[in-house]
Chain A
Amino acid sequence: MQRRIELLSEERDGGLVLLSPEVGHFTCALDRGNLVAPGTLVGRILTLGETVELVTPHGVTGRIVSDKPERVHEPVGYGDVLYELVGLEAAALADAEGETHAESGSALTFDSPYTGRFWQRPSPKDPAFVSVGDVIEAGMTIGLIEVMKTFTRLTYEPGSRLPARARVTALRATDGAEVNEGDALLELEGA
């Protein structure tokens, strides 16, 4: 049974592009004009002796408007464009579905002071520093942030915006997530 992986997709210049999820030789490409829907087999990639089937990702429907590569086995890197698509109406519908979960703008949040990777626990085997329902107060560690390979403890510091004690109502950043400075890590309420 061949391994199957979804292509990556990205909106670019008003259209949609499908990108390689692997490094390898891309082959069995589809011609211009073909329609693709989620799960459509759109080629194969040969990587370290393995043949992997490439399929259209979830939520993507469209018509291929790019030419297939000249070479039967085209060397590609991760994120290289394999197909350009124009969306069909179904694609628009799928997009609308994706936009349903709304932002809860007014919630109290603990924001990341730095751009980096956020870690919820000191090591994979350890419990998370905080969980939903926990009450946190000044000086408590809520997670680690990894910036330039250095791990820094994030501690809860009450201030003008945050109360002395707060209850965690939601975890906004997953373990190992890339976060930007100012991104919400925790949602809080006064406790």
Chain B
Amino acid sequence: MFHRLLIANRGEVAVRIAHAARSLDISPIGIVSEADRDAGWTREFDDVVCVGPAAASDSYLRMDRIVQAALQMHATALHPGWGFLAESPRFARLCGQHGITFVGPEARLMDELGTKSPAKAAMSRAGLDVVPGSDGPLVDADAAAACANEIGYPVILKADSGGGGRGMRKCANEAEVREAFSSAQAEALAAFGSGSIYLERYLTTGRHIEVQVLCDNFGHGVHLFERECSVQRKHQKLIEESPSPALTPDERAALGARAIRAALEVGYTNAGTIEFLRADDGSLFFMEMNTRLQVEHPVSEMITGIDIARSQIAIAANHRLAFEQSDLEASGHAIECRINAEDPEDGFRPSPGRLDAFEFPDDRGPGTVRVDTHLRAGERITPHYDSLIAKVIVHADTREQAIETMTRTLEGANVAGVKTTVPLHLAVLASEPFRSGNYDTASIPGWPA
């Protein structure tokens, strides 16, 4: 096993990985930008290297400085977290060239699967159905318009290297495609370091259901069941749950089996997520594969008891998976609410500032509560980075009990100083479409559009 692991990320995910490293007796080493130098969460690391000024392009995206930081801190492995360089095959290669184990799949798989259009081709070959769209990235707005005219409207523009809703634009006609193309490109370039954009048919109704997979370096793999992620705003997930209320036990088993078969077919290693769009008629289209740990991974951890971040590190250290599919069981129901520093009453305007109070009770309702966060009362939320400030995850025997536990936990939350999405979550949890499980990505249940 590794002795020292460099965590090439910040905030909540950096803390999550530091805990996973410690559970394996590995010393976590952090990196920070100047804006994060004094942040409280940096105390989770045994050592910290500052890699640049506040702007992510000069710090958290500086591959050369991050790899040099790993070398001089004698870290032999590097975990990229999510966002920033997590899906950069170039970064994974640079780590490899300097003898550092990148915790994730091989760079060639990230090339193929991390960019969306080659991934569609690969998964189509591996037996999954795909959404009709452009054949690879689009060179310019003209090409986008031509392709959109051919497949029919509405369409959605997506960043080839993207995720998290950045660089995505829904377009109802050719004029909208032309207008949205350059801003989608700029946003993708700023967020992911690549302005490559592709396009596909936008399915107006449907559910976003994804399957978590874990594969070791010896051709063994398991799925950790699905996550339902249809409560979204501008393609950013707000609430995730598992199991999905939309699937029957048979559909669940079949989906998991198809996903892991496809992952093994392409030779996938480490943790990954295969995202599907479930149309109203029950058909499931492959959307994309995320070749990294995901924000909502705790939902799957809660129902299976498997520590995904820890498994990632063990797999990277050439350990075999310690369990087989038949050992895994989806037990009970888990829900995660992403708490962002945004004002849902004011168009989700980002709300950086000082957290005057920041407490979530963990003894409400019939279920158990887990709060993943990097912040404490008295700390500042910077305007430089993502607005995620905490994830509240609950687990209970039934979906009703999970909803009750989450509702009572959020009602009892004491968060002051910044605006957060807590009121939005409470509205969704109380809404009839959410309670009945009958919702999709088209609108936020219980929240006016």
Contact = CB atoms under 8 A, between A and B. Distances in A.
Interface of A: 22-25, 47-48, 75, 77-80, 114-117, 122-126, 146-152, 176, 178
B49 interface: yes
B187 A77 contact: no
B183 A123 contact: yes
B447 interface: no
A62 B421 CA distance: 52
27 contacts: A23-B50, A25-B72, A47-B65, A48-B64, A48-B68, A48-B98, A75-B73, A78-B59, A78-B65, A79-B50, A115-B352, A123-B183, A123-B189, A123-B195, A124-B189, A147-B350, A147-B383, A148-B352, A148-B384, A149-B166, A149-B191, A149-B387, A150-B350, A150-B387, A152-B349, A178-B54, A178-B55
B52 interface: yes
B246 interface: no
B350 A122 contact: no
Instruction: Return the 9 tightest CB-CB contacts between A and B, nearest first.
Output: A123-B186, A75-B72, A77-B50, A77-B49, A148-B350, A148-B387, A23-B65, A147-B350, A115-B383
Nearest to B186: A123
B147 interface: no
A146 B59 contact: no
B67 interface: yes
Given A22-B65, A122-B183, A152-B349, 16 more contacts: A24-B68, A47-B68, A48-B71, A75-B49, A75-B72, A77-B51, A122-B182, A123-B195, A126-B182, A148-B341, A148-B342, A148-B383, A148-B384, A149-B166, A151-B183, A178-B54
B68 A123 contact: no
Contacts, number: 90
Contacts of B69: 23, 77
B385 interface: yes
B190 interface: yes
Nearest to A116: B383
B142 interface: no
A125 B387 contact: no
**Residue of A78, A114, A151 contacting most chain B CB atoms (<10 Å):** A78
B9 interface: no
Contacts of A47: 64-65, 68
B432 interface: no
Contacts of B65: 22-23, 47, 78
A49 to B, nearest CB: 9
Contacts of B384: 148
**Residue of A77, A124, A146 contacting most chain B CB atoms (<10 Å):** A77
Contacts of B190: 146, 149, 151
A23 B72 contact: yes
Contacts of A176: 55
A24 B240 CA distance: 41
A76 B8 CA distance: 17
A85 B69 CA distance: 27
**Residue of A80, A148, A178 contacting most chain B CB atoms (<10 Å):** A148
A62 B51 CA distance: 27
B50 A78 contact: yes
Contacts of A23: 49-51, 65-66, 68-69, 72
B34 interface: yes
Contacts of B405: none
Contacts of A123: 182-183, 185-186, 189, 195
Contacts of A147: 350, 352, 383
B386 interface: yes
A150 B383 CA distance: 10
A122 B186 contact: yes
Contacts of B48: 77
Contacts of B51: 23, 77-78
Given A75-B72, A77-B50, A77-B69, A151 B187 contact: yes
Contact of A149 (B182, B349, B386): B386
Contacts of B66: 23
A150 B51 CA distance: 23
A91 B236 CA distance: 52
Contacts of B385: 148-149
A60 to B, nearest CB: 19
B33 to A, nearest CB: 8
Nearest to A74: B72
B8 to A, nearest CB: 12
Given A22-B65, A23-B51, A124 B72 contact: no
A117 B382 CA distance: 12
A125 B98 CA distance: 35
